[in-house]
Amino acid sequence: MDFFFQLFSDPVGFWNSHTLLIAQIGINGILATSMFVVLFSGQLSLAAPGFMAVGAYTSVLMGLYWHTPLALGLVAGTLLAGVVGALVGLPVLRLRGVFLAIATIGFVEALRLGVILNLPITGEGLGLKNPSADPLGGINLILVSFVVVVFVAWRLTKGRLGHAWAAIRQDEIAALSQGIHVARYKLLAFILSAVMAGFAGGLEAHLNFFVDPGDTQYGVTRAVQILTFAVLGGSGFVLGPVVGALFITLLPWIFEAAGPYINIVSGAFLIAIIVFRPQGIVGRGGLAIIRPSWWPRARASAPSTG
Amino acid sequence: MLLRLDSVQRHFGGVHAVDGVSLEVERGAIQGLIGPNGAGKTTLVNVLTGYVPFQAGHAWVGADELTGLPAFRIAALGVARTFQNIRLFKELTAIENVLVGMHTRRRDDTLAQLATLPFFRRDQRGRLNEAHKLMDTVGLASRDVGDRPAGTLPYGDQRRLEIARALALRPRLLILDEPAAGMNPSEKHRIRELIERLNADGLTILLIDHDMRLVMGVCNRVAVLNFGRKIADGTPEEVSTDSGVIKAYLGSGGEREVRSAPGASGVDQAAEADEVAGSGRPSVEPENAILEVHGLTVSYGAITAVRGASFSVAPGEVVALIGANGAGKSTILNTLSGLLRPDYGSAMFDGLDLTAAKPSAIVRHGLVQVPEGREILARQTVLENLELATWARQSGRGAQGQIALMMKRFPILGERRDMRAGTLSGGEQQMLAIARGLLAKPRLLLLDEPSLGLAPQMVDEVFRAIEEIHADGTTILLVEQNALRALAIADRAYVIETGRIQLSGSGDDLLHNPAVRRAYLGG
Amino acid sequence: MDQQLLNAIFIGSIYALFAVGYTLVFGVLDILNLAHSAVFMLGAAVTYSLVINHGQPFWVACILGIAASGFMGLVIEHVCLRPLRRRQAPPIAALISTIGLALIIVAAIEQGQPGQFFAWLWVDGPNSVAFPPGTIPNPTWHVGDLTLEASKVAIIPISIVLMLVLGYVIRYTQVGRGLRAVAENPRAARLMGLDVDRMISLTLVISSALGGLAGILFGVALGDISPYIGRDNVEVRGLAVIVLGGMGSIPGAVVGGYLLGLIEVAALVTLGSNARGGVAFAALFLMLVLRPQGLFGAQLRERI
């Protein structure tokens, strides 16, 4: 509990001693928002770690070999993630539900095990040294971009695009009958999500002097963690996944007292939350999003991103 | 000429769902499209609106060719449609559903959203006002139901909301696929008024429906499909006297089929005939009831579907529950079967408390439901369906003999024993569902809408089967929309309206009771 | 090369056995039980622990290990699935609750160290262990240039017999028809007098017992038992297997298991050990893109 006590008693000291943690929260928040965008358009995609890897390796390798500034590497990594997102998103457009989830897992693991672990340039599974990392310097960039990303996602869900996404999530066939170009909007969401994940991956790679191609970084375990952000927080509202990310990232501190049994307590806690709030921590209805703010609240209904 | 179809064709495997249909719809017309079940009406609409690709033929709306266009482009050309099985965005509110319908004529505001520019708000307000107006147009109280999730609206309102959403496209052509399906006559009447009103405002409408009376009453021209081909096309008078149409649509047979065709004029006449016969006598409740229900109240969340229903069934009786769609009939049956739990009230079946027992225990105790929509196991064979139906008998002994007996009673099931149940026709599936119910050795058989969606001659066959089962001594609780048919075979009946039992009496009494007309037919 | 082919078949058997349980639950409930790989690990860990730490005979330990796995199936149903069904939660919620349980199971084994709370269950913490030679019967034969170890060879008949039995039960018995009925239409099944909750519990028990057995076979044959064998070896590959065969299809899972074994061994031989996983997942991705219903699944068409 010292952790939370310090947050209030000595915020400056907290900031200084936990900068890395705060940076990680910001990055996980961006990843959660990336997950939100695909879920909001009705796509259960678990591809984020793949796009993170694209963003991370592009920015690190550009710095290593071409000595480009960080910003350029980040931009290039983000754009490349978007391109890969388009290439992956197009063939999987017609897949739904867990089929899409598994196909994207296939992409993630094929990229990690098949490409990253085999190319000499990415360290062949031994990892990659990143001397240009700046663990503490990136914090401002991370926090600002976190806020921008969340804001963008929030505004997008409010407009014509958001209406279309919500309609597609509810019923693709009915959405077609309203003149909505379903394939285009789904692909757009997929690419936007890829861009966000690629950007977060690039940022994250510079928190550490070593890029680790492990499962918990760019593999299924990470994908499942990001999904957990969204489902636990509630995927109906943009803040839901962000709260989920905050919560999951802080779990080790919340349950500090559990000591070595932290995972047991966390697991039990996960089950308890999902059983008692299947719709997630934040948000009652799945779709409060496209209701104008002055309109009376709709009644509760569980989100259907399943 | 607004819509023109030229030899449109679509086959699925060996099934000629649509087989060279040509059709022309004048601007400003209400064109009807009718035909028996499986005639290809919905497939034609799906081809026309881009959901199923054209195999051959062409179609134009105005000067725009529809052939080969994806569904969303066709919608953007001003062809709006509704769906036979309602497809609303269930978790979006009613108003949001209508707002989504404005997609094609809304400018892309993505950048404006990011900048949160003020003009967007004005824009949004305009659209909201329009959405409210559209809901009012179709007869929905937008201020009351506008912010309810569409999936929670009553059935009739969902149909209307779907029409409002289609209108939000500002269509040139509106295609309504069975807009009155499952509605009672008074609701049908309101749909008819709505169609006429929209048409008076200049909208061209293509109306597909089973209900002859609605189609004949409202359309300028009617086309008839049978087995994927157009067999007639003309004014309602021409079509309704066409002998080929009568044969195809009503089945070969006499007076009886015509009278019982859904919505055919016989319904009204019978109810009207005894307008003066006086109100229903107080019903006689049996003394030795096998099923006794008292003050049953059931709700789904905030919506109370059944309010204090009390009734009873004695051994050997056929008791009918009649009432309009959404009156709460199926809710009652599902509560009796243990699928739903009541808020209040009691339901005792031969010493078993149905409000607390597990569904499986209820079936074992002899209360068996044949559910609405049949719910046969489509992926298993007919034989497997029947074998599984003996589950509740505990011991497998004698089961094979019973199955053989069932196949004798319903010969069609014997012929199709190794076919997958999903490949049976609707009527055959209903027979299977009833046979399945009987194999569970019911002492009380609940039948939920056994005639729903069946062709008239199949309806006859189903009712004949029910009478036979009853003659064998099975007690039956029958839920039917087809009130005349149900009352004709029922010993006693209860009329239920908005979750309450309004009337009860013997089948004959109610058949001639003007209050039935008011309660069930809605005046 | 022949040795490699043999390896493909026996690793394929383990994949198939694991995936049959996985696909059974998906077929009946439309839910991916992500705790299945933890149950796989638990079966191996319990068996090892019973033999080495509690001095039980190997066969008794095997039976108890399978029983423990089957019991875990009941836990999955009662803790992770049934409460969510009661609340009509979307299927995605079950994904999270089973992940939570998997986390707990793995953590419990991980924390099993001498003197710790879970020492009765496991004492080797996160380390990988193997049965010492001689603790289990394992005769070895040499046929030509092939080495046949009983522990590996036995996997093949055990898996095939079990899968045949399961296939028979599902196809031809009343219980099997009941399971298929619950899978297709739980409401109809209820109205026919089936106790749907009991059928689902049964599904989970069968599935988990098979998963645990697969874990035991894996641990014995590969000499690798640790809290992470499920996660590292079968969690994601199991997904690949059931997709290759067709989600929910039992024969599909069997064929998919052997197919994945062959693909991996082929990749190993031609491209080297690192490419093994990558090729499998590329195949998974392609399969879903080209034929989402898998080898044995039925084409799904939505009615409009």
Q: Which residue has the higher pLDDT, A239 or B186?
A: A239
Q: Which residue of B has its CA nearest to C191?
A: B369
Give the range with max mean pLDDT: B313-317, B339-343, C39-43, C276-280: C39-43
Do the Cβ atoms of A303 and C90 come within 8 Å? yes
Tell me which H or E stretch contains B349: strand B344-349
Residues 6+ apart with CB under 8 A from C87: A275, A278
Sign of CA dihedral B230, B232, B235, B241: negative
pLDDT of residue B201: 92
Question: Which stretches of B242-365 are DSSP H helices?
Answer: 243-250, 255-260, 266-273, 329-336, 359-364
In the block, which residue shows the tokens 């009796």? B336
Q: Count Cβ atoms below 10 Å from residue B117 Cβ, excluding itself.
A: 12
Give the span between the Cα atoms of C180 and C171, in whole angstroms. 9
Give the span between the Cα atoms of A169 and A176, in whole angstroms. 12
Give the span between the Cα atoms of C241 and C226, in whole angstroms. 23
Nearest to A178 among B100, B114, B116 (CB): B100
Average pLDDT for A266-290: 73
Residues of C in contact with A275 (CB under 8 A): 83-84, 87, 97
Cα separation values, B148 from A8, A287, B345, Å: 42, 12, 29
A96 to chain B, any CB pair closer than 8 A? The answer is no
Q: Which residue of A has its CA nearest to C238?
A: A102
pLDDT of residue A190: 97
pLDDT of residue A295: 40
Q: What are phi and psi of A280, to 5 degrees?
A: 100, 170
In the block, which residue shows the tokens 């482009």? B73
Which ipTM value was assigned to this complex? Answer: 0.87
Residue B273's pLDDT band (cuts 50, 70, 90) = very low
Tokens of C275: 């490419």
Is the pLDDT at B260 greater than 50? The verdict is no
- Chains touching chain B, criterion 3+ CB pairs below 8 Å: A, C
Q: Which of C179, C192, C296 should be substituted to probe chain B, the one whose Cβ sees the most B Cβ atoms within 10 Å?
A: C192
Is the pLDDT at A5 greater than 70? The verdict is yes
Q: Which residue of A has its CA nearest to B167?
A: A178
Task: Write out residues 275-304 of A within 8 Å (CB-CB) of C.
Answer: 275, 278-279, 302-304
B144 to chain A, any CB pair closer than 8 A? The answer is no
Biggest CA pair distance of chain A: 58
Is the pLDDT at A297 greater than 50? The verdict is no
Is the pLDDT at A300 greater than 70? The verdict is no
Average pLDDT for B45-54: 92
pLDDT tens per residue, range A163-190: 999 999 999 999 999 999 999 999 999 9
- The string over B376-391, giving b where at least 16 C-beta atoms fall within 10 Å of a residue's C-beta and e elsewhere, is bbbbbbbbbbbbbbbb
pLDDT of residue B437: 92
Average pLDDT for B166-174: 95
Residues of A in contact with C90 (CB under 8 A): 278, 302-306
Cα separation values, B109 from A34, A148, A181, Å: 21, 18, 16
CB distance B37 to B456 below 8 Å: no
Q: Any idea what the Cα angle at residue A237 is, between residues A233 and A241, rounded to 5°?
A: 30
Is the pLDDT at A246 greater than 90? The verdict is yes
Q: 3-class DSSP state for residue C253?
A: helix
Is the pLDDT at B110 greater than 50? The verdict is yes
Tokens of C151: 């522990």
Give the span between the Cα atoms of A160 and A165, in whole angstroms. 9
Q: Which of A31-45, C32-46, C68-82, C244-258 has the lowest average pLDDT? A: C244-258
Nearest to A105 among C92, C236, C272 (CB): C236
Q: Which of A169, A170, A173, A177 should be substituted to probe chain B, the one whose Cβ sees the most B Cβ atoms within 10 Å?
A: A177
Q: Mean pLDDT score of chain B, rounded to an integer? A: 83
CB distance C297 to C246 below 8 Å: yes
Average pLDDT for A209-229: 89
In the block, which residue shows the tokens 């599909």? C252
Is the pLDDT at C68 greater than 90? The verdict is yes
A216 to chain C, any CB pair closer than 8 A? The answer is no
CB distance C227 to C213 below 8 Å: no
Give the span between the Cα atoms of A112 and A53, in whole angstroms. 8
Residues 6+ apart with CB under 8 A from B121: none
CB distance B216 to B246 below 8 Å: no
- Model's pTM, two decimal places? 0.85
Do the Cβ atoms of C191 and B363 come within 8 Å? yes
Residue B357's pLDDT band (cuts 50, 70, 90) = very high
Residue B256's pLDDT band (cuts 50, 70, 90) = very low
- Specify which residues B454 forms β-bridges with: none
The string of DSSP codes covering A33-62 is HHHHHHHHTT-----HHHHHHHHHHHHHHI
Nearest to A286 among B91, B112, B302 (CB): B91
Tokens of C277: 């996983």
Is the pLDDT at B309 greater than 80? The verdict is yes
Residue B182's pLDDT band (cuts 50, 70, 90) = low
Residues of A in contact with C228 (CB under 8 A): none
CB distance C27 to C250 below 8 Å: yes
Give the span between the Cα atoms of C159 and C189, in whole angstroms. 30
Q: Which of A289-303, C153-167, C222-236 has the lowest average pLDDT? A: A289-303
Query: C44, C69, C70, C57: which is closest to C122 by C-alpha?
Result: C44
CB distance B76 to B104 below 8 Å: yes
pLDDT tens per residue, range B362-389: 999 999 999 988 888 988 999 999 999 9
Residue C137's pLDDT band (cuts 50, 70, 90) = confident
CA distance A133 to chain B (A): 32
Do the Cβ atoms of C288 and A115 come within 8 Å? no
In the block, which residue shows the tokens 């960039």? A141
Give the span between the Cα atoms of A226 and A304, in whole angstroms. 18
Q: Which of C170, C185, C304 should be substituted to probe chain B, the one whose Cβ sees the most B Cβ atoms within 10 Å?
A: C304
The distance from CA C156 to its chain's CA centroid, rounded to whole angstroms, is 15
A232 to chain C, any CB pair closer than 8 A? The answer is yes
| pLDDT above 90 as % of chain B | 44
Strands (E), chain C: 140-143, 146-149
Is the pLDDT at A123 greater than 50? The verdict is yes
Q: Which residue has the higher pLDDT, B462 or B275?
A: B462
Q: Mean pLDDT score of chain A, rounded to an integer? A: 86
CB distance B66 to A144 below 8 Å: no
- Return the DSSP state at B150: G
Give the span between the Cα atoms of B458 and B464, in whole angstroms. 10
Residue B518's pLDDT band (cuts 50, 70, 90) = low
Residues of B in contact with C181 (CB under 8 A): 377, 380, 388
pLDDT of residue A3: 77
Q: What are phi and psi of B474, to 5 degrees?
A: -80, 135
Is the pLDDT at B272 greater than 70? The verdict is no
CA distance A296 to chain C (A): 25
CB distance A44 to A305 below 8 Å: yes
Q: Looking at this protein, which amino acid is placed at residue A120?
A: P
The distance from CA A207 to its chain's CA centroid, rounded to whole angstroms, is 17
Q: What are phi and psi of B336, to 5 degrees?
A: -60, -35
Paired sense of beta strands B344-349 and B318-322, if any: unpaired
Tokens of B70: 């994806």
Is the pLDDT at B417 greater than 50? The verdict is yes
